[in-house]
Amino acid sequence: MRLSKYFLPVLKETPAEAQIASHRLMLRAGMIKQASAGIYSWLPLGFKVLRKLENIVHEEQVRAGHIPMLMPTLQSADLWRESGRYDAYGPEMLRIRDRQDRDMLYGPTNEELITDIFRSHVGSYRDLPLTLYHIQWKFRDEIRPRFGVMRGREFFMKDGYNFDLTKEDALHAYNRHLVSYLRTYERMGLQAIPMRADSGPIGGDDTHEFLVLAETGESEVFYDSEITDLKFGDREIDYADKAQCQAVLEEFTSRYARTDETHDAAIFNQIPEERRRVARGIEVGQIFYFGTKYSDPMGATVQGPDGKPVAVHMGSHGIGVSRLVGAIIEASHDDKGIIWPEGVTPFHAGIVNLKQGDGEADAACEKLYSALKAKGLDPLYDDRDERAGGKFATMDLIGLPWRITVGPRGLKNGVVELTSRRTGESEEMAPEAAVEKIAEIYAPHRGEAGTVEPMADRSFHTWM
Amino acid sequence: MRLSKYFLPVLKETPAEAQIASHRLMLRAGMIKQASAGIYSWLPLGFKVLRKLENIVHEEQVRAGHIPMLMPTLQSADLWRESGRYDAYGPEMLRIRDRQDRDMLYGPTNEELITDIFRSHVGSYRDLPLTLYHIQWKFRDEIRPRFGVMRGREFFMKDGYNFDLTKEDALHAYNRHLVSYLRTYERMGLQAIPMRADSGPIGGDDTHEFLVLAETGESEVFYDSEITDLKFGDREIDYADKAQCQAVLEEFTSRYARTDETHDAAIFNQIPEERRRVARGIEVGQIFYFGTKYSDPMGATVQGPDGKPVAVHMGSHGIGVSRLVGAIIEASHDDKGIIWPEGVTPFHAGIVNLKQGDGEADAACEKLYSALKAKGLDPLYDDRDERAGGKFATMDLIGLPWRITVGPRGLKNGVVELTSRRTGESEEMAPEAAVEKIAEIYAPHRGEAGTVEPMADRSFHTWM
């Protein structure tokens, strides 16, 4: 993309209403614009990141054997009356009356709707196990929306639902979700720690929240420092293998890690003092096992092996996709702006032309731009007639991990400058070498056609 | 995908409430389930097609130089009061009051919101031309929703907005949209004819609707039969070239083609009688030029070359993405079920195992399945223990364009059977030859990394 043809309305001023870094930086970098309280338009740069996160979530869910579908945003109140949650949910549920005076609502979550689909179409234990999910806009009428997309009212969420014959199978589904979430967050450049949590309005006995450590987190968290050494990494996992998934659960949840809701000082104090950590965390996902809480009242049964009806064991599992954009920025920024992890960056590299209009500099930039695109990379070329300082500031603000600087002086020596946004370190090299190096850096993120490859990166594909 | 692991709830009975083929077939093929009146859940097969259409629309918009972003579903009433449409819109607008008693609405379209974004961020004619678009769920509270996704209440639409300094530039944007829409529909296997139409609540002087001819269409259409011979095909187009785009507009709109709203019998009757056609059509898109209708009242101006403020010339341009799923089926089905065009089929080919459990047949199917996946193709393998007749009926119903039938008898001779869903013709060949042939058929639909290639097909990619 050429910046002169793009829509990237960066702001010079820091917006007064933004209290935390991610909100400030998303506004300043032209990623979002508030449409009304707690509701945002995703400007092109923000939408690109949001879409990348969505694709990573899809890929990891499909890899785990879960099936994508899509439920609508508006739901009928009737189903919620069946489960008993219509009255229980409180004022955060946005209630709507249509022109025929029917009670509707903007879905904050989808347990009822998916259970209705299940009971309408599935009749036998032979059709289990089954996990369906979707990624859809939700609404929660927060009394005090704030922190930008971190606590908005209209938000984009992945929610998945497992249907199993037994508790044991349902706990395997729980474990599959835990594993797939660990992979998902790591691909986004995040460390998200599963912590024993409280189930809230979803209900259920078993639940873990995934928290990203950040000073601006809404939850106080208590954990054993050993947990931050754990990495899922690129190990192979067979999602059908119960023991393998259970082992991952145990590895990642056996050390103490709890939010303030479930914190137990007596247990915490048994950890050696030098490993005890108290910090703040941002919740970016949660998994639940809740048994027959919805299948019982809603009659979601299957015929068991003995011919008798069995209420299915369920769980639900969410990832806050729009909120993750903010969480990644909270975890990765500095005074100058955002620092995108390679897996989610909106563009792979920026090209800064120090002397727009200079024949040689322009030609070198065009050549770099084409060479990067020929490698399947997605560069952003700042081809505006602006001062170098302004161009650098924009690139630093929007946070592309790599910048190539092209100027007449370097070109005389046959070199351009390759700069890491994270370290600030620069290296001079031939333009071809810079292209090769960037291609190498992104190689682990390249998706392979027709397969679910680790770290597939949709930006190598066609439309963005 | 193995059918035994998928969620494909096909119905044996024809649902009584469905009056038209696409609605019937989408329900029977397990593509959708009604959630409430005019609101549907997209089951896995339906979601896959919807997502493919979305991706084609994105690719063609980006190719035309238009920039993707995303506006929210809920909007504040205030902006609509500015344009005067809040009161004018009528009961099809779903009006909502939030917990703070603010007037909101579920966006039926986005002229106001995009104009607000524009006026907040764009100040100079140097930033023009600019075309922004998004693909988002919309709501229109139809008094009598029917025909499934063809006339639903919650629907998925692409809407794009151009901002230009002059009427001439805006008409070029109009032409770009016309060209990109022709390409879009052709990639979906549809012929959609641009017809002079009425502007309705969007307003404006110039507008064309795109109509797909189908008996179940809601509009009566009148056209010169020569128009159905026109194909955009794979010609090259430079979207920046005004003359080229204008020539396409003239080619595709110079013959008579109008809906009943704008039909003029006197002109129609001047066409030679044998070329006069009266038929029915399904509206799948519309483009508008409306000048300063929104920029004037909302103060969307830029500083012109002479330093004086100029109200921008605008247009808006929509494609009904969810409705297209129905339109494609209306245009392409038979008594047995859907017949997907290759560009949008949810799976590239079906594999039918005639004797599940037979060692040789199972092994041959597994090998075919892997070989197709290795080519980047996305097969659906019916590995259920069912009668051949039932498997054929399911494949015919869900409409995959190609089916490979594998049975012990054929395998003895080293062959499988490749059947075209469209023609019903079968051919025996070695399994390897069947794989090669299918790969060849889909080659024009294959997307190339990092480029916006014609006919790129997302299903070659990773997550679905």
CA distances, B84 to each of A157, B101, B296 (Å) = 34, 21, 12
Upper half-sphere CA count for residue B424 (Cβ side, 13 Å): 6
Q: Do B36 and A460 touch (CB under 8 A)?
A: no
Q: What is the spatial distance between Cα A298 and Cα A18, in angstroms, rounded to a whole number?
A: 43
- Give percent of chain A above pLDDT 90: 88
Q: Do A33 and B69 touch (CB under 8 A)?
A: no
- How would you class B406 by CB atoms within 10 Å of its CB: exposed for 0-12, middle for 13-18, buried for 19 or more? buried
Q: What is the spatial distance between Cα B36 and Cα B335, in angstroms, rounded to a whole number?
A: 28
- How would you class A323 by CB atoms within 10 Å of its CB: exposed for 0-12, middle for 13-18, buried for 19 or more? buried
Residue A149 within any structural domain of the chain: yes
Asked if B69 and B95 sit in the same domain, the reply is yes
- Residue that is written with structure tokens 């081809």 in the block: A383
CATH number at residue A375: 3.40.50.800
Asked if B87 and B128 sit in the same domain, the reply is yes
- Helix and strand counts by DSSP (H, E) for chain B: 14, 23
- Helix and strand counts by DSSP (H, E) for chain A: 14, 23
The H or E element containing residue A119 is: helix A111-121
pLDDT tens string A371-412: 998 888 899 999 999 999 999 999 999 999 999 999 999 999
What are the b/e assignments for A154-182, b being 16+ CB within 10 Å?
bbbbbbbbbbbbeeebbbbbbbbbbbbbb
Asked if B310 and B404 sit in the same domain, the reply is no
Q: Do A449 and B376 touch (CB under 8 A)?
A: yes
Interface size A-B, in CB pairs within 8 Å, comes to 226
A380: three-class secondary structure by DSSP = strand
- pLDDT at site A447: 57
Torsion over CA of B126, B129, B133 and B139, rounded to 10 degrees? 100
Range of the domain at A69: 31-331
How many structural domains are present in chain A? 2
Residues of B in contact with A122 (CB under 8 A): 9
Asked if B273 and B358 sit in the same domain, the reply is no
DSSP string, A387-453: -HHHHHHHHHHHT-SEEEEE-HHHHHTT-EEEEETTT--EEEE-HHHHHHHHHHHHGGG---TTS--
Asked if A208 and A132 sit in the same domain, the reply is yes
Q: Which two tokens stand for residue A261?
A: 């809701």
Length of chain A: 464
Q: How many CB atoms lie within 10 A of CB B389?
A: 8
- pLDDT band at residue A448 using 50, 70 and 90 as cut-offs: very low
- pLDDT at site B455: 29
Q: Do A74 and B106 touch (CB under 8 A)?
A: yes
- The answer to whether residue B144 scores a pLDDT higher than 80 is yes
Asked if B295 and B326 sit in the same domain, the reply is yes
What are the b/e assignments for B305-321, b being 16+ CB within 10 Å?
eeeeebbbbbbbbbbbb
Chain centroid to CA A54: 7
- Residue that is written with structure tokens 């954990």 in the block: A223
B438-452 mean pLDDT = 66
Listed range (A54-63, B20-29, B167-176, B317-326) with the worst mean pLDDT:
A54-63
Torsion over CA of A405, A407, A410 and A414, rounded to 10 degrees? 90
B127: three-class secondary structure by DSSP = helix
Sign of CA dihedral A242, A248, A254, A260: negative
Q: Do B122 and A9 touch (CB under 8 A)?
A: yes
- Give percent of chain B above pLDDT 70: 94
Considering only residues B196 and B133, tell me which one the structure prediction assigns the higher pLDDT. B133
Upper half-sphere CA count for residue A239 (Cβ side, 13 Å): 18
Q: What is the spatial distance between Cα A461 and Cα A441, in angstroms, rounded to a whole number?
A: 17
Nearest Cα of chain B lies from the Cα of A249 at a distance, in angstroms, of 24
The H or E element containing residue B365 is: helix B359-374
- The answer to whether residue A44 scores a pLDDT higher than 90 is yes
- pLDDT band at residue A197 using 50, 70 and 90 as cut-offs: confident
Phi-psi region of B269 (alpha: psi -120 to 50; beta: other; left: phi over 0): alpha
Task: Identify the closest residue of chain A to B31 by CA–CA distance.
Answer: A69
Interface test with B, best of A49, A50, A70 (most B CBs within 10 A): A70
Residues of B in contact with A96 (CB under 8 A): 94, 96, 106
Q: What is the spatial distance between Cα A164 and Cα A110, in angstroms, rounded to a whole number?
A: 17
pLDDT tens string A250-287: 999 999 999 998 999 999 999 999 999 999 999 999 99
| Least CB–CB distance from B74: residue in A39, A62, A448 | A39
- How would you class A409 by CB atoms within 10 Å of its CB: exposed for 0-12, middle for 13-18, buried for 19 or more? exposed
Phi–psi pair at A138, nearest 5 degrees: -125, 165
The H or E element containing residue B319 is: strand B313-320
ipTM score: 0.95
Listed range (B40-44, B82-86, B223-227) with the worst mean pLDDT:
B82-86
Q: Do A58 and B5 touch (CB under 8 A)?
A: no
pLDDT tens string B6-29: 999 999 888 888 999 999 999 999
Nearest Cα of chain A lies from the Cα of B181 at a distance, in angstroms, of 16
- Give percent of chain A above pLDDT 70: 94
Q: Which of B331, B354, B387 is the last residue of a domain?
A: B331
Reference A47, options A102, A7, A18, A98; nearest CA is: A7
First vs last C-alpha separation in chain A: 9
- The answer to whether residue B457 scores a pLDDT higher than 50 is no
Residue A246 within any structural domain of the chain: yes
| Least CB–CB distance from B99: residue in A102, A141, A458 | A141
A143-168 mean pLDDT = 96
Q: What is the spatial distance between Cα A116 and Cα A234, in angstroms, rounded to a whole number?
A: 37
CA distances, A318 to each of A86, A221, B137 (Å) = 20, 20, 21
Nearest Cα of chain A lies from the Cα of B15 at a distance, in angstroms, of 14
Q: Do B120 and A463 touch (CB under 8 A)?
A: no
B11: three-class secondary structure by DSSP = coil
Nearest Cα of chain A lies from the Cα of B364 at a distance, in angstroms, of 20
Contact call for residues A138 and A155 (beta carbons, < 8 A): yes
Q: Do B35 and A113 touch (CB under 8 A)?
A: yes
Residues of B in contact with A67 (CB under 8 A): 6-7, 44
CATH number at residue A208: 3.30.930.10
Q: Do A463 and B41 touch (CB under 8 A)?
A: no
Q: Are strands A74-76 and A103-106 parallel, antiparallel or unpaired?
A: antiparallel
- pLDDT at site A14: 84
Residues of B in contact with A139 (CB under 8 A): 74
Q: Which two tokens stand for residue B464?
A: 């679905």
- pLDDT at site A452: 29
First vs last C-alpha separation in chain B: 9
Show the CA angle centred on residue B9, arms to residues B8 and B13, nearest 5°: 140
- The answer to whether residue A370 scores a pLDDT higher than 50 is yes
Residue B24 within any structural domain of the chain: no
Q: Do A70 and B41 touch (CB under 8 A)?
A: yes
Asked if B312 and B350 sit in the same domain, the reply is no
Torsion over CA of A365, A367, A368 and A369, rounded to 10 degrees? 80
- pLDDT at site B464: 33
Residues of A in contact with B141 (CB under 8 A): 98-99
- pLDDT at site A202: 59
Residues whose CB falls within 8 Å of the CB of residue A12, separated by 6 or more in sequence, listed in order: none
Asked if A98 and A189 sit in the same domain, the reply is yes
Q: Do B42 and A375 touch (CB under 8 A)?
A: no
A288: three-class secondary structure by DSSP = strand
A425-439 mean pLDDT = 97
- pLDDT at site A198: 74
Residue B10 within any structural domain of the chain: no
Asked if A319 and A367 sit in the same domain, the reply is no
Residue A159 within any structural domain of the chain: yes
- The answer to whether residue A20 scores a pLDDT higher than 90 is yes
Residue B248 within any structural domain of the chain: yes
Asked if A303 and A407 sit in the same domain, the reply is no
Contact call for residues A165 and A304 (beta carbons, < 8 A): yes
SS (H, E, C) B367-382: HHHHHHHHCCCCEEEE
SS percent in chain B: helix, strand, coil, step 5 = 35, 25, 35
- pLDDT at site B197: 83
What is the identity of the amino acid at A117? I
Q: pLDDT averaged over chain A? A: 92
Q: Which of A331, A356, A372 is the last residue of a domain?
A: A331
Asked if A275 and A144 sit in the same domain, the reply is yes
Chain centroid to CA B453: 18
- The answer to whether residue A316 scores a pLDDT higher than 60 is yes
Listed range (A152-161, A443-452, B24-33) with the worst mean pLDDT:
A443-452
Q: Do A102 and B74 touch (CB under 8 A)?
A: no
Residue B169 within any structural domain of the chain: yes
B207-232 mean pLDDT = 94
Contact call for residues B344 and B356 (beta carbons, < 8 A): no
Asked if B403 and B432 sit in the same domain, the reply is yes
Q: What is the spatial distance between Cα B268 and Cα B221, in angstroms, rounded to a whole number?
A: 11
Residue A1 within any structural domain of the chain: no
Q: Do B456 and A449 touch (CB under 8 A)?
A: no
Q: Which of B276, B307, B331 is the last residue of a domain?
A: B331
- pLDDT at site B345: 94
Residues whose CB falls within 8 Å of the CB of residue A224, separated by 6 or more in sequence, listed in order: A255, A256, A257, A271, A275, A276, A277
Q: What is the spatial distance between Cα B45 and Cα B29, in angstroms, rounded to a whole number?
A: 8
Contact call for residues B452 and B187 (beta carbons, < 8 A): no
Task: Identify the closest residue of chain B to A128 by CA–CA distance.
Answer: B5
B36: three-class secondary structure by DSSP = strand
Nearest Cα of chain B lies from the Cα of A199 at a distance, in angstroms, of 25
Interface test with A, best of B28, B52, B99, B373 (most A CBs within 10 A): B99
Q: What is the spatial distance between Cα A28 and Cα A8, in angstroms, rounded to a whole number?
A: 10
Residues whose CB falls within 8 Å of the CB of residue A250, separated by 6 or more in sequence, listed in order: none
SS percent in chain A: helix, strand, coil, step 5 = 35, 25, 35
- pLDDT at site A444: 81
Q: What is the spatial distance between Cα A89 and Cα A432, in angstroms, rounded to a whole number?
A: 59
Pinpoint the alpha helices (H) of A218-294: 242-253, 265-268
DSSP string, A38-99: TEEEE-HHHHHHHHHHHHHHHHHHHHTT-EE-B--SEEEHHHHHHHTHHHHS-TTSEEEE-T
Sign of CA dihedral A183, A188, A190, A195: negative
